[in-house]
Amino acid sequence: MKVTEHIESGNGKTLFSFEILPPLKGQTIQSIFDHIDPLIEFKPPFIDVTYHREEYDFHEVTSGLLRKKVVRKRPGTVGICAAIQNRYDIDAVPHILCGGFTKEDTENLLIDLGFLGIDNVVALRGDAVKSETYFKPEKEGHAYAEELVKQIVAMNNGKYLDDSLENSAHTDFCIGVAGYPEKHMEAPSMESDFHFLKKKIKNGAHYIITQMFFDNKKYFDFVDRCRKEDIDVPIIPGLKPLATKKQLNLIPHRFKVDLPDDLVMEVVRCKDDKEVRQLGVDWCIEQSKGLIAAGVPVLHYYSMGKSDNIQAVAKAVF
Ligand code: FAD
């Protein structure tokens, strides 16, 4: 079933969902099941699985000469999605990226997903690889998520890259895209970010999932602005419980989101990360309650490889 169908069949009730990361190469899929099992009681209608593009490592070959080696540290998104659907009978939503993919790679990936009975995707651009300052698309790839959305929609209409193909099967993907209540880090202004978000929806995306935020007002303002811009698709808020003191600096640096002063001061007063973890859960419970009261369609939690804090939040609100 599609994410938008789950939302419709929820009849106004806020649904619970979360996102998982594929394990590091070398680990088994059991680590994923161990992560999902404690969250099943909250009946997630869908689970997102992130995608991680290649990174580069440099190895010394001889006397200071370095060789560049491509490594993929978290492979397995498609396999994990198939395993989730098979084991739990819950819809899995793979994230798919422009970065590292040619259009041909994307087409083949979408064909695989269709064959596996996966009919949801989140279409993203991806970030620059660590060794590059700016995002660089593949030579035959997409530069922006709005282009990726176009390709998926074309396949939904039976149009493949090779236009000599006749009677090609129509895929049937429900497409999510990212939205940034506090602006995407590279966008020169909120205005331009809305302009391109609107383009993703105009090109055929069906819903938006937001970047994490720690102040619900940012989400409510974002939704108001979207509605003014005639973006009328569901907007799913993304939440992450703060878990360590280090994240006070790491989250703003990595995701370019602000933390409210009250939260920052409370974290500073915590004796250790155990206290921060509890504070993060309590803060996230309050955020969740406020969002449910406002009638959001789904609460989507970024688990970042840990489920105990998401379980604690879900217990208190679902
Ligand atoms: P885009 O929508 O392409 O936007 C990127 C930037 O370009 C924005 O500043 C936008 O304003 C601008 N822009 C857009 N279109 C145009 C255009 N036509 N011309 C000029 N400028 C334009 N990353 C991963 O690697 N794996 C994941 O699984 C993953 N999951 C995510 C899930 C969510 C919910 C979110 C919010 C982010 C996720 N990311 C993931 C991170 C994401 O890849 C980065 O934030 C990336 O920098 C932007 O992706 P995007 O799809 O929003 O890009």
Beta bridge mates, 199: none
The arithmetic mean of pLDDT across residues 59-87, rounded, is 85
The CATH number of residue 73's host domain is: 3.20.20.220
Is the shortest distance between the CB of 186 and ligand 1 below 6 Å?
yes
Is the shortest distance between the CB of 95 and ligand 1 below 6 Å?
yes
Beta bridge mates, 161: none
| Closest ligand 1 atom number to CA of residue 50 | 28
| Closest ligand 1 atom number to CA of residue 51 | 28
Give the three-state DSSP class for 210. Answer: strand
pLDDT at 195 over 80: yes
Q: Whose CA is nearest to atom 14 of ligand 1?
A: 196
pLDDT at 175 over 80: yes
Q: Whose CA is nearest to atom 29 of ligand 1?
A: 50
| Closest ligand 1 atom number to CA of residue 144 | 3
Instruction: List the one residue out of 1, 119, 127, 131 whose CA is nearest residue 55.
Output: 131
Other CB atoms closer than 10 Å to residue 224's CB: what's the count? 10
pLDDT at 69 over 80: no
Least confident of 19-23, 43-47, 72-76, 269-273: 72-76
For 280-306, letters b (16+ CB in 10 Å) and e give bbebbbebbeebeeeebbbbbbbbbee
Is the shortest distance between the CB of 187 and ligand 1 below 6 Å?
yes
Spacing, Cα 138 to ligand 1 middle (Å)? 16
Report how far apart, in Å, the C-alpha atoms of 115 and of each of 85, 132, 147, 190, 206 are.
13, 35, 23, 39, 21
pLDDT at 63 over 80: no
Is the shortest distance between the CB of 124 and ligand 1 below 6 Å?
yes
Spacing, Cα 112 to ligand 1 middle (Å)? 23
Spacing, Cα 259 to ligand 1 middle (Å)? 21
Q: Which long-range contacts (CB under 8 A, 24 or more apart) does 226-229 make?
A: 226/179, 226/194, 226/197, 229/194, 229/197, 229/198
Q: Whose CA is nearest to atom 32 of ligand 1?
A: 178
pLDDT value of residue 59: 74
pLDDT value of residue 289: 98
Give the three-state DSSP class for 212. Answer: strand
Spacing, Cα 243 to ligand 1 middle (Å)? 25
Is the shortest distance between the CB of 127 and ligand 1 below 6 Å?
yes
Spacing, Cα 72 to ligand 1 middle (Å)? 20
pLDDT value of residue 65: 82
Other CB atoms closer than 10 Å to residue 252's CB: what's the count? 14
Which pLDDT band, with edges at 50, 70 and 90, does 166 fall under? confident
Spacing, Cα 197 to ligand 1 middle (Å)? 10
Cα–Cα distance, 245 to 93 (Å, whole number): 31
pLDDT value of residue 62: 75
The arithmetic mean of pLDDT across residues 81-103, rounded, is 97
Is the shortest distance between the CB of 276 and ligand 1 below 6 Å?
no
Mean pLDDT for the chain? 95
Count of domains for the chain: 1
The arithmetic mean of pLDDT across residues 181-192, rounded, is 97
Tokens of 37: 């099992």
The arithmetic mean of pLDDT across residues 198-215, rounded, is 98
Is the shortest distance between the CB of 184 and ligand 1 below 6 Å?
yes
Helices (H), the chain: 3-9, 30-36, 77-88, 103-115, 145-156, 190-202, 216-228, 247-255, 261-269, 273-293, 308-317
pLDDT value of residue 252: 96
Written as one string, the DSSP assignment of 38-73 is: GGGGG--SEEEE-----EEEEEE-STT-EEEEEE-S
The arithmetic mean of pLDDT across residues 49-71, rounded, is 80
Contact (CB, 8 A) for 176 and 120: yes
The arithmetic mean of pLDDT across residues 293-302, rounded, is 98
Contact (CB, 8 A) for 94 and 67: no
Spacing, Cα 269 to ligand 1 middle (Å)? 35
Q: Which domain holds residue 226?
A: 3-317
Q: Whose CA is nearest to atom 13 of ligand 1?
A: 196
Determine if the pTM surpasses 0.75: yes
The arithmetic mean of pLDDT across residues 11-36, rounded, is 95
pLDDT at 191 over 80: yes
